[in-house]
Structure 1
Amino acid sequence: MSLSRIFKRLVSTNTIFSSSLPKLTGKQLKSLTTTELLIKLGFIRQPHAGITHWLPLGLATLENLEEVIKQRLSEGQVLETSLSSLSHSSLWHKTKRWQNDELYKLNEDFCLAATAEEEITELVKVYADTYKKLPVLIYQMERKYRDERRPRGGLLRGREFIMNDAYSFDVDKEGALASFNKMNKIYFQIFSDMRVPFVKANADSGTIGGDLSYEWHFISDKGEDTLYTCDNCQVTGNVEKVKPFIDENADAVDKAAVTYALTTDNDLVAFYYPEGRHLNTKFFDAEDIVELNTKITDQEKVLEIFESENPDGLKNIVRVVDLAVKPRTEMPDMPVPFSKSRMSTFEGIGLTEAQEGDLCSNCGGKGHLHASKGIEVGHTFYLGKKYSIPLEATFADKDGEKQNYEMGCYGIGVSRLLGAIAEVLRDEKGLRWPAIIAPLQVSIVMSPAFEGDHQKVQSLIDLLTKAGIRVEEDSSDLSLGMKLNRSKLLGIPLQIIIGKAFPKLEIEVRGKLFGKKGYEVIESKRSDWGIETEKRHGVVKHLVDIEHADETIKLLLQDL
């Protein structure tokens, strides 16, 4: 027995989990969330919020997705590892992340890993002790755990999830940025394989750290994130990173709004910005003027605390004024006692988020910004030495001197990605998986009117299977119509109906068309192969002789 035939996962629609699907009207189907749909169709089960059991069809889809990611990483010479889900607190204390509220802490010594920067750095420093062993690019595909207070969106935000996390280690910043760019190219290939419209967006690095990061988003009205794209330079950014372009010579805004915050020393910070705009204090954080206390945001509470510690008006007040606020702008009164000698003012800082139609700051106001919604499915970070310094992760350079690694980290929430694909591509008939990850790619359904050669049908199944196509003949007791409806509900890209027209087969296209390469070949062979095509009630059907069915099916799947 060849190695390739030792194991083949059993994938079937006829199991206890999916053989008896609910009868859903179009209205009922539309009312279901994607998570509810995946549960009803036997892909997953969620016994509690944020916890997922993977059933056979869901597991097959998930593993197909994982294989696409692994293939692209392998082509990029990224090494695969598998780390323990348990991580020791000593490493997290060194990076000052042990106090993270989302960590599942088992006791004072161990937590369930939510991410692996600490552990992977500790691992690599044992082996990559000299510049001659760098760069290192390494990844794993493992379950991760996060103590989400309010898990929501089904697979989109869970307490346990499948994560593909990768890490790069380099001798210097130039090398680290080269690895960062390489991984972003690999991500571009991975998301292109998914056949779903996506964008790469400039992003805030959050708690992971670093000063350069990109988010990868599926464009969808159902997304939680707001993205802005410039119609001139085509650069996209998360709303948290996009500043509007403000012409320094423009007229002053009529009236300013104010938001108050405390520093970690309980001094007062007053932010002044155009009324009607949304303040983003992260833009101020980047200026590194003072450190804000982000835990207290209630305006009455902020002022109450400041006043209680400032009875004589001698504590510091920092005024931060947006670019668009100028001397002629009407300003709010200061609501607390103050001394001018204890007041400092910083002007000319962009403080507000972009809005639809704003000028783009990236290209100097040449273009306008346009909003869209996105579902985040990946994130890439250039980390610098954020982790290698506290973890004392070093290597010997050419001169024998110890240097800290320059690092990057890269993450795709694989289970989240599967949920996002289902969310974006589903329609009024059910799921619509891209052929590359579909649990099955072809359903073969026999009509009761079929009186042809069964051996020829089996030969077709063998040819398709040998070509790596995931195919199932539905041998259940369901009626022809119910078999077809089940296959379409489950999102299987192609249905083949074998009936009284045999040796002609009818191929129904359920999958979403993403390309035309296969279709163009079919067009060129239409007369030679005797292919007839029609579109009825929005469904494309191809009538083809069984002798050319395998070639036609392969070509159709290329585009789905």
Structure 2
Amino acid sequence: MLRTTIRKRFVSTQTPFSHPPPSKLKPNITTTELLTQLGYIRQANAGLTHWLPLGLQTLRNIEDIIHFRLKQAGCIEVSLSSISSSSIWQATNRWENNELFKLANNNNNGKDKDGNASSEFCLAATAEEEVTELVKKYCKSYRRLPLIVYQMNRKYRNEQRPRSGLLRGREFVMKDAYSFDIDSESALKSFELMNEVYYKIFKDFKLDFIKANADSGSIGGDLSYEWHFAGESGEDTLFVCDNTEECGAAANIEKLHPLRENEQAKCADEASARYMLSTEGDLVAVYYPKGRSLNLKFIESEDLVDIDPRWADKSAEKVLNKFQTNNEDGTEMQFKNVVRLMDKQIQPGTKLPDFPIDFSRSRMTTFENLDLVEAQEGDLCSSCNGKGHLKVKKGIEVGHTFYLGTKYSEPLNASYIDHLGKRKFYEMGCYGIGVSRLVGAIADLTRDKLGLRWPAKIAPLQLSIITATDPKPQVTKLIERLQEQRDMLFEVDTSTLGMGGKLMKSKKMGIPLQMIIGENNFPLVEIELRGQRFPTDNGEYEYLKKFEEKKDEWQWSILEDKGTEKHLVHIDFADQVIPLLLKDM
């Protein structure tokens, strides 16, 4: 309650950090520039963000939605240090990650016992290591499990090329949660619980979202889902099955194998070739249908050869030149091997490119019938055995859930005593949401040519009150009644702008409702809708039920003016109409 009161007192579009936005936005203005221009954020440097009052309130509104759903599910909130010791990152083989900000130890002038420079800490990019170390100190018995803990704080990642403003920064606000269980069966239950929580969280934001099968990447684990907002401005490519009644499966491009059977698995007319080097210095020649795209993740998953990442995307000329030179240990080319990987559509009738070097076939190994190419739009869906076709959608990733198993508990020796007195490692899961990323993503997907257009729960203010003259006693009483509604933030615009300027400013800021109190129609007031309408699950708008019941008593009428929905209502009942309108926005 106190926090709400403090916010009401200080959140306003009229702060030292804001100024009246221009009447017209620049063409092709980015969302980051728009948020900056409207006084929500300020980019201190590339990838670093200052949160100004309006942006901070928006961020906190998003945090509140996430907090509510996590605590509803029984998750326990903690807050870990942002500085983490290198020792635990070394134990899990993640210390060499070049995205970590590493801190020099100032003790002994920053040198170790041998006089070498030492880096012993990092700024936390994520907290699998630290939270595992924490929990193992307290949960030494199976009786204290299962456990799900979470935190919401700043994380740090040394992005080499930070871009897209809030979507990819060096410092960001993240919600990260971690589950600890006694066995894989219990861990999967926690994993499913957290996915249900995520569904509710993203449902609360009222935007279209997609849960997609995903590659676990550097976090690890055997099972993971990405959570995306669907939108053409998204940087990720997703495939969704159009068989929505029976399937509707979704996956990112790194995870989904197309179903290539019957006519789609026929012999390719011509093959493309790509050359790489293995970690042993052997040449890897990959053949796949011309016109398709190769997926390196699929090559790795076949577990036939270890590709040297340094030579995975070099030109054929550079790879072949390297292969034909002696290794550092003096190994000559004739003592090296060639591994040929053939996609399943590369068959005896396929025209292969000439092999680029003269090489003995006795040292060639060929693996056939492999699934090596990315899906493309129109492919049959493998999840429903070809009953549907794959459609491409763009998405902005805003969350990720992982089932980890014992990936972190084993190297960190994090264990508990089970009911038989035996020591066992925790089975774990981890669950992230990019909180500051959500601000950028939601702003990007809901904005229009006029400016921002926040959903009501997320907007820093839900209502702007615009008056033509000094407030009348009835207006003062209305403001007092609105102040009693603790779940709504509003402002009375007292700036020196005219009525039109105040209205335009509020709309650009993305505030869902503007209430205009003029002289002509008083005591009727006009409420304009800036926000979008989101129907309930049954497809209805709740305010309409009340409208039919109270329109005469409240002198409530609805009209449309140049595409803008407006409500006229007697001022004595405006405080009852406003929450009804906000509920669907």
Bin for the TM-score computed over the shorter chain: over 0.9
1:455 aligns to what? 473
1:179 aligns to what? 190
Amino acid at match of 1:60: Q
1:61 aligns to what? 58
Given that residues 313 and 337 in structure 1 are in contact (C-alpha distance below 8 angstroms), is that contact kept between their aligned partners in structure 2? Answer: no
- Match for 2:534 among 514, 518, 538? 514
> 2:61 matched to 1:43?
no
Q: Which moved more, 1:505-514 or 1:335-344?
A: 335-344
TM-score with structure 1 setting the length: 0.96
2:109 aligns to what? none
Deviation readout 1:529-554 (Å, 9 max, x if unpaired): 22111111111100001122111101
Given that residues 99 and 159 in structure 2 are in contact (C-alpha distance below 8 angstroms), is that contact kept between their aligned partners in structure 1? Answer: yes
Q: Distance in 1 between matches of 2:354 and 2:59?
A: 58
> 2:539 matched to 1:535?
no
Given that residues 426 and 432 in structure 1 are in contact (C-alpha distance below 8 angstroms), is that contact kept between their aligned partners in structure 2? Answer: yes
- Match for 2:285 among 245, 270, 278? 270
2:382 aligns to what? 361
Amino acid at match of 1:350: D
1:191 aligns to what? 202
Q: Distance in 1 between matches of 2:203 and 2:275?
A: 44
SS of structure 2 residue aligned to 1:71: helix
1:286 aligns to what? 301
2:522 aligns to what? 502
> 2:460 matched to 1:439?
yes
Amino acid at match of 1:12: S
Given that residues 240 and 391 in structure 2 are in contact (C-alpha distance below 8 angstroms), is that contact kept between their aligned partners in structure 1? Answer: yes
Amino acid at match of 1:304: N
Matches within 5 A, 1:162-311: 162-232=173-243, 233-247=247-261, 250-296=265-311, 297-298=313-314, 299-309=316-326, 311=332
Amino acid at match of 2:423: K
Amino acid at match of 2:325: S
2:14 aligns to what? 14
SS of structure 1 residue aligned to 2:42: strand
Shift of 1:464: 2.0
Given that residues 155 and 171 in structure 2 are in contact (C-alpha distance below 8 angstroms), is that contact kept between their aligned partners in structure 1? Answer: yes
Amino acid at match of 1:11: V
Q: Distance in 2 between matches of 1:93 and 1:337?
A: 44
2:164 aligns to what? 153
Shift of 1:311: 4.0
Q: Which moved more, 1:483-492 or 1:325-334?
A: 325-334
Q: Distance in 2 between matches of 1:400 and 1:335?
A: 62
SS of structure 1 residue aligned to 2:334: coil
2:84 aligns to what? 87
SS of structure 1 residue aligned to 2:273: strand
> 2:475 matched to 1:465?
no
- Match for 1:114 among 125, 132, 140? 125
SS of structure 2 residue aligned to 1:207: helix
Q: Distance in 2 between matches of 1:166 and 1:177?
A: 15
1:492 aligns to what? 511
Amino acid at match of 2:317: E
2:110 aligns to what? none
Q: Distance in 2 between matches of 1:510 and 1:536?
A: 12
Deviation readout 1:250-289 (Å, 9 max, x if unpaired): 4301001111111111112111110011000111211222
Q: Distance in 2 between matches of 1:91 and 1:221?
A: 40
Q: 1:4 to 1:44 in 2, by over 3 A?
A: closer
Q: 1:6 to 1:21 in 2, by over 3 A?
A: closer
- Residue-pair matches, total: 553
Given that residues 314 and 338 in structure 1 are in contact (C-alpha distance below 8 angstroms), is that contact kept between their aligned partners in structure 2? Answer: no
Q: Which moved more, 1:493-502 or 1:461-470?
A: 461-470
SS of structure 1 residue aligned to 2:218: coil
Shift of 1:432: 0.6
Given that residues 323 and 333 in structure 2 are in contact (C-alpha distance below 8 angstroms), is that contact kept between their aligned partners in structure 1? Answer: no
Q: Distance in 2 between matches of 1:311 and 1:84?
A: 52
Unaligned 5+ residue runs, structure 1?
Answer: none
Q: 1:90 to 1:559 in 2, by over 3 A?
A: same
SS of structure 1 residue aligned to 2:88: helix
Given that residues 521 and 555 in structure 1 are in contact (C-alpha distance below 8 angstroms), is that contact kept between their aligned partners in structure 2? Answer: no
2:107 aligns to what? none
2:366 aligns to what? 345
SS of structure 1 residue aligned to 2:55: helix
Q: Distance in 1 between matches of 2:3 and 2:163?
A: 40
Q: Distance in 1 between matches of 2:412 and 2:13?
A: 50
SS of structure 2 residue aligned to 1:371: strand
Shift of 1:149: 0.8
2:438 aligns to what? 417
2:547 aligns to what? 523
Q: 1:398 to 1:446 in 2, by over 3 A?
A: same
Q: 1:312 to 1:531 in 2, by over 3 A?
A: closer
Given that residues 229 and 369 in structure 1 are in contact (C-alpha distance below 8 angstroms), is that contact kept between their aligned partners in structure 2? Answer: yes
Deviation readout 1:295-331 (Å, 9 max, x if unpaired): 2221222222221147453322211111111111111
Deviation readout 1:9-45 (Å, 9 max, x if unpaired): 5101111112x2231425x2x4210000000100000
Shift of 1:4: 6.8
Q: Distance in 2 between matches of 1:3 and 1:116?
A: 31
Identity across aligned pairs (percent)?
54
- Match for 2:96 among 99, 102, 117? 99
Shift of 1:248: 5.5
Given that residues 21 and 40 in structure 1 are in contact (C-alpha distance below 8 angstroms), is that contact kept between their aligned partners in structure 2? Answer: no
Q: Distance in 2 between matches of 1:74 and 1:136?
A: 13
Deviation readout 1:327-374 (Å, 9 max, x if unpaired): 111112222343333222211211011111111112212211010111
2:24 aligns to what? 25
SS of structure 1 residue aligned to 2:477: helix
Amino acid at match of 1:524: E
Amino acid at match of 1:491: G
Shift of 1:5: 7.5
Q: Distance in 1 between matches of 2:165 and 2:266?
A: 48
Given that residues 142 and 164 in structure 1 are in contact (C-alpha distance below 8 angstroms), is that contact kept between their aligned partners in structure 2? Answer: yes
SS of structure 2 residue aligned to 1:529: coil
Q: Distance in 2 between matches of 1:456 and 1:529?
A: 15
Q: Distance in 1 between matches of 2:479 and 2:424?
A: 59
Given that residues 325 and 333 in structure 2 are in contact (C-alpha distance below 8 angstroms), is that contact kept between their aligned partners in structure 1? Answer: no
> 2:499 matched to 1:475?
no
Shift of 1:467: 1.6
Amino acid at match of 1:261: M
Amino acid at match of 2:324: E
Unaligned 5+ residue runs, structure 2?
Answer: 105-118
Given that residues 495 and 507 in structure 1 are in contact (C-alpha distance below 8 angstroms), is that contact kept between their aligned partners in structure 2? Answer: yes
Given that residues 61 and 438 in structure 1 are in contact (C-alpha distance below 8 angstroms), is that contact kept between their aligned partners in structure 2? Answer: yes
Amino acid at match of 1:17: F
